[in-house]
């Protein structure tokens, strides 16, 4: 079997779908596999123990999270020695495919999830939907989701006009309505940007006693990339493996945004757009003093101070 060091050094970049699956199957070794599930999905297992991380990921977005086009879960194998099951889609499919359903049925029948002390499901966007929907296969699992959709069934979410091409896809059959599928989970945490209105509306549908919802304002549609760059996804999953998270737990992790220059720049642009120049001055001065703000912040600071001065002069 390949060890985690071998996997961490593997370069899968530049491979097409079929070649990627073939190479991943080789890397999985004797105790794992990469198995196609039809033309648009695959299941990749790297087995260690005792924690199993189940991630739902898009093949097309692997280069965004890894320079070597590895699944995000492989970084958790290297860091924590966890087992990893990756469900991979070729494009955004929300994993609505009978072959995927059948695969999870087989795992349930084989008692696969019972072999692990803890099972954690993770995904973002369409993959966040799938993480919630398929978590029902492992009762007692914990789930982490970033801006997931609850459903694309037009009878429930006709207000979401971003994915019109999915309107004919069934979201009412097996593993269908994601919030209901979380009923068997031990705990779930959902992060979203409330200023992305449609994401916030989906988040509202996940209101459940076992779901902690947390707002990550100013991340927009880059929530997964930003949180991964900040190291918060790994931190979130590690904490979730120990115990269900409270809003305070997530809030403490979220303080890391104070050191994230692109995030601070988003806040700065919003303050300027809203013409809140006094807050712009305070924000820029703070970022510059902590050496996380560079020329952009100094330029914005000068502009905001000039606007405040001109306002003072005009009212004098």
Average pLDDT of the chain, as a whole number: 94
171 and 279 co-located in one domain: no
Which of 234, 257, 280 finishes a domain? 257
Residue among 264, 237, 278, 254 at smallest CA distance from 54:
237
78 and 173 co-located in one domain: yes
The total of structural domains in the chain comes to 2
Which of 257, 278, 298 finishes a domain? 257
Question: How many C-beta atoms surround the C-beta of residue 71 within 10 A?
Answer: 26
Name, in order, each residue with C-beta under 8 angstroms of 45's C-beta and a sequence gap of 6 or more: 28, 32, 33, 34, 83, 84, 85, 86
57 and 159 co-located in one domain: yes
Give the per-residue pLDDT at 314.
60
pLDDT tens digit sequence for 194-217: 999 999 999 999 999 999 999 999
32 and 171 co-located in one domain: yes
Give the per-residue pLDDT at 313.
61
CATH number, domain containing residue 33: 3.40.50.1820
Question: Which secondary structure element, helix H or strand E, spans residue 55, and what is its range?
Answer: strand 51-58
Which of 242, 257, 272 finishes a domain? 257
- Tokens representing 250 are 């997530």
Q: Provide the domain limits for residue 73.
A: 4-257
144 and 274 co-located in one domain: no
Give the per-residue pLDDT at 5.
46
* Positions in the chain short of pLDDT 50: 1-2, 4-5
160 and 269 co-located in one domain: no
> Which 3 state secondary structure label does DSSP give 260?
coil
Give the per-residue pLDDT at 301.
96
């Amino acid at each position: 079997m390949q060890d985690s060091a071998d996997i961490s050094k593997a370069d899968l970049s530049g491979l097409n779908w079929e070649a990627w699956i073939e190479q991943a199957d080789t890397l999985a070794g004797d105790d794992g596999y990469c198995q196609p599930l039809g033309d648009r999905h695959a299941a990749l297992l790297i087995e260690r123990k005792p924690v199993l991380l189940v991630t739902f990921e898009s093949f097309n977005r692997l280069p965004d999270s890894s320079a070597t086009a590895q699944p995000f879960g492989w970084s958790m194998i290297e860091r924590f020695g966890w087992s990893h099951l990756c469900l991979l889609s070729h494009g955004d499919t929300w994993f609505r495919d009978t072959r995927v359903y059948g695969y999870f049925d087989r795992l349930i029948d084989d008692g696969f999830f019972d072999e692990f002390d803890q099972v954690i499901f993770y995904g973002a966007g369409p993959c966040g939907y799938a993480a919630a929907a398929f978590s029902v296969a492992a009762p007692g699992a914990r789930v982490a989701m970033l801006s997931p959709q609850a459903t694309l069934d037009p009878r429930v979410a006709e207000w979401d006009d971003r994915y019109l091409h999915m309107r004919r896809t069934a979201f009412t059959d097996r593993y269908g309505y994601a919030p209901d599928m979380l009923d068997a989970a031990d705990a779930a945490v959902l992060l979203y940007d409330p200023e992305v209105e449609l994401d916030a509306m989906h988040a509202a549908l996940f209101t459940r006693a076992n779901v902690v919802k947390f707002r990550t304002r100013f991340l927009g549609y880059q929530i997964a990339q930003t949180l991964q760059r900040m190291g918060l996804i790994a931190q979130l999953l590690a904490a979730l493996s120990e115990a269900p998270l409270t809003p305070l737990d997530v809030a403490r992790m979220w303080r890391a945004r104070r050191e994230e220059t692109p995030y601070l720049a988003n806040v700065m642009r919003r303050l300027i757009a809203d013409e809140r120049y006094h807050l712009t001055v305070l924000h820029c001065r703070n970022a510059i003093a902590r050496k996380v703000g560079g020329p952009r912040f100094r330029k914005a600071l000068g502009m905001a101070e000039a606007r405040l001065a001109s306002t003072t002069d005009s009212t004098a």
